[in-house]
Chain A
Amino acid sequence: MARVVVDVMLKPEILDPQGRAVQGALTRLGLAGVSDVRQGKRFEITLDGDLDADRETVLNRLAEELLANPVIEDFTVRVAEQA
């Protein structure tokens, strides 16, 4: 079994209105000094068997085509567990 984590974040230059709303809430709820909040997505993908090179290629492609939209988002793919 393998577990892969894909993190997707809005590019730094793209306004994140949700992050900004969360920033306001954190400040209102008593956390001092919040200068920025960025909200992203995390995908935890569990695979049967080992993550071989072929499947890793497919996974990287789909991270770019499906999980993230590279027009506005950056992403990282990381193997968290390889049994």
Chain B
Amino acid sequence: MTKIGVITFPGSLDDGDVQRAVRVAGAEPVPLWHAATTIGEVDAVVVPGGFSYGDYLRCGAIARFAPIMADVVHHAGDGLPVLGICNGFQILCETHLLPGVLTRNESLHYVCRDQALTVERTDTAWTNEYETGDRIVIPVKHGEGRYVADDATLDWLEGEGLVVVRYADGNPNGSFRDIAGISNEAGNVVGLMPHPEHAVEDLTGTPGTDGLRFFTSALQSLVG
């Protein structure tokens, strides 16, 4: 069975929900501890949301130096599928696996709501089960999700088609160009602020199961 590692840092919150989403998608979740020096025998890794190290200094700035992250960066370079959600996205930006940075929401308010997104890049390890242009609704919940990069980086992201998901029907945090999630060029590393793991089962009501395909996409990309 495909094994997907889920990292837990001190202060992670959504590691349990991601493990559940992985199971619902039909893979085996493997808990990974931040202090481990290797990811072991896993086929993909998810860096989940929460408040690693209390968000001290900057979100993700300390988690970036956790022992396990060096191994994640190493394997990401070899094509390992890596998904960063919310705080995980912040950590992937701090490690420079993805460009840019997430800053305090423009409104200064913590935002928690169901959010419409447009899926733009579908040839990644995490979005290949979507169609380009799909409109999906999954929750956002963050105080520091405003994607910021310089114009040259933003133009490069758009030109190369690396924007994976974009906010639709209103931008919750002031992100530049309504960017909700991006990928690296190879498409194996994806980071996004919204939480697909919170939208994988009908039982939890709205917003439904629009997030599940992030996880089934990983299975698809690994099994073929």
Contact = CB atoms under 8 A, between A and B. Distances in A.
Interface stretch (A13-21, A29-37, A50-58): A13-21
A17 B107 contact: yes
18 contacts: A14-B103, A14-B148, A15-B106, A17-B104, A17-B105, A17-B106, A17-B107, A18-B104, A18-B108, A66-B57, A66-B62, A66-B65, A69-B101, A71-B99, A71-B101, A71-B148, A71-B150, A72-B101
B100 interface: yes
Contacts, number: 30
B35 to A, nearest CB: 18
Given A66-B62, A71-B148, 18 more contacts: A14-B103, A15-B106, A15-B174, A17-B104, A17-B106, A17-B107, A17-B108, A18-B108, A21-B108, A66-B57, A66-B61, A67-B57, A69-B94, A71-B99, A71-B149, A71-B150, A72-B103, A72-B148
Interface size class of B (residues with CB under 8 A): 10 to 19
Contacts of A15: 106, 174
Contacts of A17: 104-108
Interface of A: 14-15, 17-18, 21, 66-67, 69, 71-72
B9 to A, nearest CB: 16
Contacts of B101: 69, 71-72
B172 to A, nearest CB: 14
Interface in B94-151: 94, 99-101, 103-108, 148-150
Query: Nearest 9 A-B pairs (CB), nearest first?
Result: A71-B101, A17-B108, A72-B101, A17-B104, A17-B106, A69-B101, A21-B108, A69-B58, A72-B148
Contacts of A72: 101, 103, 148
Nearest to B104: A17
Looking at chain B's contact residues, the main secondary structure is loop
A21 B99 CA distance: 28
A18 B101 CA distance: 17
Nearest to A21: B108
Nearest to B62: A66
Nearest to B65: A66
A17 B50 CA distance: 22
Nearest to B107: A17
Contacts of A69: 58, 61, 94, 101
A67 B104 CA distance: 17
Contacts of B65: 66
Contacts of B57: 66-67
A69 B101 CA distance: 8
A37 B62 CA distance: 27
B44 to A, nearest CB: 27
Contacts of B108: 17-18, 21
A21 B109 CA distance: 11
Contacts of A67: 57
A10 to B, nearest CB: 8
